[in-house]
């Protein structure tokens, strides 16, 4: 009797496993880039030269380390806004100057008023569904007389968002507008505790229940010690936590276009670094929005005044930016909205 009972359980267990792997296979097979040639042509507008121009600019000494609320950070926000104006990418109707003010009352003590910078491209078929691409624009300022340039943290992410936006607006101008709206959000006050993204998620400009997913970029221009012998990688954090489909979309984007090693080491809940909780995507995850955090890991210049523009690996920054663009393209153009479901 005992043996018989055990074998019944075993049978039930293996059926469940088969059903599960079938579901996964069905999900994987459902994700493909039918418009691969079109995506490739806009992917190729993302160049290491243009990324370098933005990184060199935002991490230059004239912005004094971009401390939240200080003139240097305000000026860099002006620079970001100017790029959107030049590219004819719209401001939200409610915030026609591209700025969402973050009052000092919503920031830690002693900081001045600051702002998030927001631009968007309206979706052609599902304009009320929004894909977010985010990066923080602030850094550590000046300490002990030294400017913290923050080229990787987060000049790299800032440049990536600008280049992704430019690729999408070029596609739009050529008759390939995204089906869903895409929001380009440069948040302030990340370094002091994720305050800019928290403010946005408390006072959203577009309804958060219509947010499809948030792709957050924070440090993607360098290589960490674990990858000294293979720089062709990026860490993805959070992609499978709310939506199995999101995980496989990023995987498929990578297989189709970029062939990076997608490293999930820091996605493990047991990882002591807890990066999932440490950048702006987390405030979106708290609002039940699926997220991916794109990250290169820490390196010897992390949070030091030596995080400077000449140390960025620009071809690698371009490749990683292309992966994020392709992932965003799929999220914005798929026939059905991303499913919040874990298989």
State the residues that interact with Zn ion by CB under 5 A. Answer: 153-154, 218
Using the minimum distance from each CB to Zn ion, give the nearer residue, 191 or 263: 191
Report the C-alpha gap between 331 and 250 in whole angstroms: 10
Q: Closest separation between CB of residue 135 and Zn ion, Å?
A: 8
Q: Nearest-5° angle of CA 61, CA 66, CA 144?
A: 70
Using the minimum distance from each CB to Zn ion, give the nearer residue, 138 or 240: 138
Report the C-alpha gap between 56 and 79 in whole angstroms: 12
For residue 89, give both structure tokens.
């990418």
Using the minimum distance from each CB to Zn ion, give the nearer residue, 91 or 236: 236
Q: Nearest-5° angle of CA 176, CA 178, CA 183?
A: 140
Q: Closest separation between CB of residue 282 and Zn ion, Å?
A: 12
132 class by beta-carbon count within 10 Å (0-12 exposed, 13-18 middle, 19+ buried):
buried
Q: Closest separation between CB of residue 18 and Zn ion, Å?
A: 43
Q: Closest separation between CB of residue 196 and Zn ion, Å?
A: 12
Given a contact cutoff of 8 angstroms between Cβ atoms, the answer to whether 218 and 324 are in contact is: no
Q: Closest separation between CB of residue 43 and Zn ion, Å?
A: 25
Using the minimum distance from each CB to Zn ion, give the nearer residue, 153 or 245: 153
For residue 98, give both structure tokens.
């591209």
Phi and psi of 145, rounded to 5°? 80, 0
Using the minimum distance from each CB to Zn ion, give the nearer residue, 116 or 256: 116
């Amino acid at each position: 009797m005992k043996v018989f009972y055990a074998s019944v359980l075993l049978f039930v267990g293996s059926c469940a496993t088969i059903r599960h792997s079938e579901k996964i296979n069905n999900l994987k097979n459902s994700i493909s880039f039918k418009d691969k040639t079109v995506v490739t042509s806009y992917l190729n507008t993302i160049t290491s030269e243009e990324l370098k121009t933005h990184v060199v600019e935002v991490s230059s000494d004239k912005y004094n380390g971009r401390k939240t609320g200080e003139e240097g950070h305000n000026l860099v926000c002006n620079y970001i806004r100017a790029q959107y104006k030049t590219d004819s990418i719209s401001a939200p109707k409610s915030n026609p100057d591209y700025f969402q003010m973050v009052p000092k009352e919503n920031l830690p003590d002693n900081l001045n008023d600051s702002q998030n910078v927001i631009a968007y491209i309206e979706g052609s078929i599902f304009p009320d569904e929004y894909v977010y691409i985010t990066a923080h624009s602030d850094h550590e300022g000046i300490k002990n007389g030294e400017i913290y340039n923050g080229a990787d943290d987060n000049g790299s992410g800032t440049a990536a968002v600008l280049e992704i936006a430019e690729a999408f607006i070029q596609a739009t101008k050529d008759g390939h507008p995204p089906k869903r709206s895409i929001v380009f959000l440069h948040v302030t006050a990340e370094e002091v505790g994720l305050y800019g993204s928290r403010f946005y998620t408390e006072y959203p400009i577009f309804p958060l229940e219509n947010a499809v997913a948030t792709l957050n970029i924070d440090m993607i221009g360098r290589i960490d010690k674990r990858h000294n012998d293979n720089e062709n990688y990026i860490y993805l954090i959070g992609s499978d936590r709310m939506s199995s489909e999101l995980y496989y979309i990023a995987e498929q984007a990578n297989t189709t276009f970029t062939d990076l090693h997608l490293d999930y080491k820091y996605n493990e809940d047991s990882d002591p670094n807890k990066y999932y909780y440490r950048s702006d995507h987390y405030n979106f995850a708290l609002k039940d929005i699926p997220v991916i955090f794109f990250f290169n890991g820490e390196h010897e210049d992390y949070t030091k005044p030596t995080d400077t523009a000449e140390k960025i690996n620009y071809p690698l920054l371009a490749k990683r930016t292309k992966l994020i663009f392709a992932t965003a393209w799929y999220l914005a153009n798929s026939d059905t909205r991303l499913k919040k479901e874990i298989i």
